[in-house]
Every structure is written in structure tokens, then in C-alpha cells.
């Protein structure tokens, strides 16, 4: 199977006001080289409309960092997949470890969000990964695949491009500790083979990203692994300069 185009997904987390987001996109666009990678910005929901207008006509796409499991109705504070689509989002991150930890999101909740996103036509970027204790016990593969199975419950896909999986080992997020390219490949390969079991033949073609302290100096090696199809980047996604470093490393 040929490798899909590399996806460089930027997770801004809770950074950048709407006006900062627009200024950032205006700074990025003139310097963005033609690249083999697809760039997508996972922005705070309130930034999406302005970003969408600023990025119109460019190849840069946008997404949200979360989405409601519900379609519409009395869910105060929630944002539906239809609302995100309406402001131009293509993706929604679901099950990021920060939401699992600080908002007590179980894999059952994550699965509901993934289904709602996919149902509406957004591409859910479903995050899975183990903490340090699990890694030290050597149980990271089984743990992550269990989380994957639970987070995909009830989901079906007709083609491989309807979902994305991100493997993000929690101990590598924001810590400067990057998994080695071999660690990333080990899990990406395990996830890929589990996906075909869970989703049928199309599952094997799903894009699998790595996330955790990715930056310009390590992205090419990580994304060069046979089963790694891109990166989900936090800290290095905030400055235009470091995003350009990553894009250039992938050209
Ligand atoms: P860092 O790149 O800051 O480690 O964050 C990774 C992450 O959580 C992306 O979703």
C-alpha cells in the first residue's frame, strides 16, 4: 500500500485569541513553501471562523480540538460537529490525553464524540497513548490497543480517509522527551494492524500520526517511519518560525 500524504496537524491547545490566530495565519501564508505535507491547524473553536476566512484559497486546513457527542439541543457549553463544519472545520481532535485527564473523558465518551464527528462529515483525529507507568511496566502496546478499541466502539468507515488516529504517549507530551522513531513505529504498526481487524480492509489505510515533543529537528525521522503518516504537534506549533522549520524538514 502506498503511503498517504504526510499530515502535519498543529494543536494550539488553549493558546491564541481570535485576532492572534488571524495575525498568525497572515504571517504564515506568504512564507509557506510548496510541501509534500498537508498542514492543518487545530485551533480553539472560537478562532475557527477568522482562520477559515484568512486561509481561504490556501491549502491549509483547520479543525477543532474537541466536539460534542450530541447533534444539537440542551447541552450548555457544547459545540456540535455541524457548527464546526459550518465555520469551515475539516477535522476535530477527540480523546486528547489532556481532555481524558482534566475532563475525565472515558474512551466511551471519546467514542461517542468520534461517531458524532464522523456522522456529520468531520474527520475525527482520535488520540490514544499510554502514561509513563504503563510504559515502564512494558504494557504500552496492549494498553494503547485497548484504548483504541474502546475509542472506536460503534464506528464504521466506508473509506480510509474518514478518520485519523494519533498515537500520543502521555509521557512525551510537553516534556521534551520524544519517543524514539522506533517507539513511534512500534505503536503505529500495532495500531495499523489492529485497525484492519476493527474496521475491515479500509482500516489498514487509515492515517496514523505520532504526537509528543515533535519539532523541526526530529519530525523527518519520525514521519519517515513506514507506518507513521504525520505528526500532531503542540509546543512547536505556536511560532510560525518553528512550523516553517517542520514544513521544510518534510519537503
Ligand atoms: P507537544 O508537542 O507540546 O509535546 O504536545 C503534543 C500534543 O499534545 C499534541 O496534541
Q: 74 CA to middle of ligand 1, Å?
A: 32
Answer whether residue 173 shows pLDDT above 70: yes
What rounded mean pLDDT belongs to the chain? Answer: 96
Distance CA(94)–CA(84), nearest Å, equals 13
| Segments forming the whole domain that contains residue 230 | 7-250
Ligand 1 in reach of 216 Cβ (< 6 A): no
Indicate whether 20 belongs to any domain.
yes
Predicted local confidence at residue 1, as pLDDT: 59
Indicate whether 1 belongs to any domain.
no
Burial 125-139 (b: 16+ CB within 10 A, else e): bbbbbbeeebbeeee
Indicate whether 196 belongs to any domain.
yes
Indicate whether 140 belongs to any domain.
yes
Work out the average pLDDT over 231-240.
98
Distance CA(168)–CA(147), nearest Å, equals 12
Indicate whether 92 belongs to any domain.
yes
Contacts of 142 (CB under 8 A, 6+ apart): none
**Count: domains in the chain:** 1
Per residue in 27-59, pLDDT (tens digit) is: 999 999 987 789 999 999 999 999 999 999 999
Cβ atoms of residues 149 and 198 within 8 Å: yes
DSSP code at position 186: H
* Residue whose CB lies within 8 A of the most ligand 1 atoms, among 98, 233, 236, 243, for a mutation test: 233
Query: Which three cell numbers mark 113?
Result: 464524540
Active site residues: 96, 168
Indicate whether 2 belongs to any domain.
no
How far is residue 177 from each of residues 17, 51, 191, 202, measured CA to CA in Å?
28, 31, 21, 33
Which phi-psi region, left, alpha or beta, contains residue 88 (left: φ > 0; alpha: ψ -120 to 50)?
left
Indicate whether 133 belongs to any domain.
yes
Query: 3-class DSSP state for residue 229?
Result: coil
Per residue in 96-132, pLDDT (tens digit) is: 999 999 999 999 999 999 999 999 999 999 999 999 9
Cβ atoms of residues 246 and 204 within 8 Å: no
Burial 3-34 (b: 16+ CB within 10 A, else e): ebebbbbbbbbebbeeeebbebbeebeeebee
Residue with the smallest CA separation from ligand 1 atom 1 is 234
Q: Give the CATH number, domain containing residue 146.
A: 3.20.20.70
Indicate whether 143 belongs to any domain.
yes
Ligand 1 in reach of 174 Cβ (< 6 A): yes
- Atom number, ligand 1, closest to the C-alpha of residue 235: 3
Amino acid at each position: 500500500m502506498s503511503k498517504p500524504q504526510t499530515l502535519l496537524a498543529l494543536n494550539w491547545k488553549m493558546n491564541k485569541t481570535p485576532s492572534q490566530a488571524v495575525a498568525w495565519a497572515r504571517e504564515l501564508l506568504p512564507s509557506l513553501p510548496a510541501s509534500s505535507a498537508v498542514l492543518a491547524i487545530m485551533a480553539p473553536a472560537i478562532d475557527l471562523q477568522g482562520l477559515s476566512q484568512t486561509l481561504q484559497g490556501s491549502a491549509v486546513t483547520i479543525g477543532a480540538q474537541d466536539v460534542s457527542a450530541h447533534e444539537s439541543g440542551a447541552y450548555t457549553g457544547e459545540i456540535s460537529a455541524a457548527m464546526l463544519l459550518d465555520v469551515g472545520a475539516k477535522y476535530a481532535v477527540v480523546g486528547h490525553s489532556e481532555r481524558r485527564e482534566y475532563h475525565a473523558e472515558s474512551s466511551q465518551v471519546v467514542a461517542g464524540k468520534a461517531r458524532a464527528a464522523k456522522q456529520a462529515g468531520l474527520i475525527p483525529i482520535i488520540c490514544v497513548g499510554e502514561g509513563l507507568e504503563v510504559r515502564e511496566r512494558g504494557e504500552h502496546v496492549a494498553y494503547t490497543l485497548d484504548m483504541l478499541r474502546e475509542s472506536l466502539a460503534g464506528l464504521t468507515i466506508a473509506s480510509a480517509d474518514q478518520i485519523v488516529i494519533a498515537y500520543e504517549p502521555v509521557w512525551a507530551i510537553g516534556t521534551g522527551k520524544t519517543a524514539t522513531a522506533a517507539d513511534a513505529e512500534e505503536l503505529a504498526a500495532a495500531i495499523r494492524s489492529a485497525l484492519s481487524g476493527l474496521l475491515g480492509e479500509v482500516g489498514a489505510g487509515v492515517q496514523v500520526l505520532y504526537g509528543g515533543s515533535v519539532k523541526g529537528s526530529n519530525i523527518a525521522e519520525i514521519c519517515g517511519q513506514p507506518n507513521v503518516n504525520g505528526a500532531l504537534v503542540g509546543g512547536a506549533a505556536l511560532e510560525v518560525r518553528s512550523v516553517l522549520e517542520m514544513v521544510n524538514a518534510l519537503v
